[in-house]
Amino acid sequence: MPYSYDPQNIFAKILRGEIPNKTVLETPHSLAFHDIAPQAPVHVLVIPKGPYVTYDHFANEASAEEIVDYTRAIGEVCKMLGVTPGAGDGGYRLIANSGDAGVQEVPHLHVHILGGRVIGRMVSRSA
Ligand code: AMP
């Protein structure tokens, strides 16, 4: 079944400027902002500006320009946040919850960048 994008989701409203956000970085095709309910000392979300629901949706249907912009934006945000292991920083976890099994709450692609402490196990053993 093809993806259907809900333009009333909260990140679409952020992109339209209808609700505020704490912006970390804005690029032509991407926006990074602080999570409203941080689960670690560093907790930033990076979203593409285009109407993509999940990572696979984006990976399969976005333009090469959007994909490069989004990927570079994630890399730049990691540097800005001071979490890149290559620079001697403490590291981070990148998460893209997708669909029901991934327990995705907001149906607009976003990656979480979590750091500033040891994040713990990759997944819990149970739901
Ligand atoms: P997910 O479960 O991966 O869909 O995560 C959605 C994330 O969006 C959660 O971590 C929320 O805290 C975050 N969130 C929801 N509303 C906002 C908002 N207005 N600004 C920033 N983050 C938000």
- Over the stretch 60-79, which tens digit does the pLDDT of each residue have? 999 999 999 999 999 999 99
113's tokens: 């960048």
Domain boundaries, the chain: 10-115
**DSSP conformation class of 80:** H
Nearest to 47 by CA among 92, 3, 111, 98: 111
Residues noted as catalytic: 110
* Ligand 1 interacting residues, C-beta cut-off 6 A: 10, 19, 21, 35-37, 45, 97, 103-106
pTM: 0.97
Q: What is the CATH number of domain 10-115?
A: 3.30.428.10
pLDDT of residue 13: 98
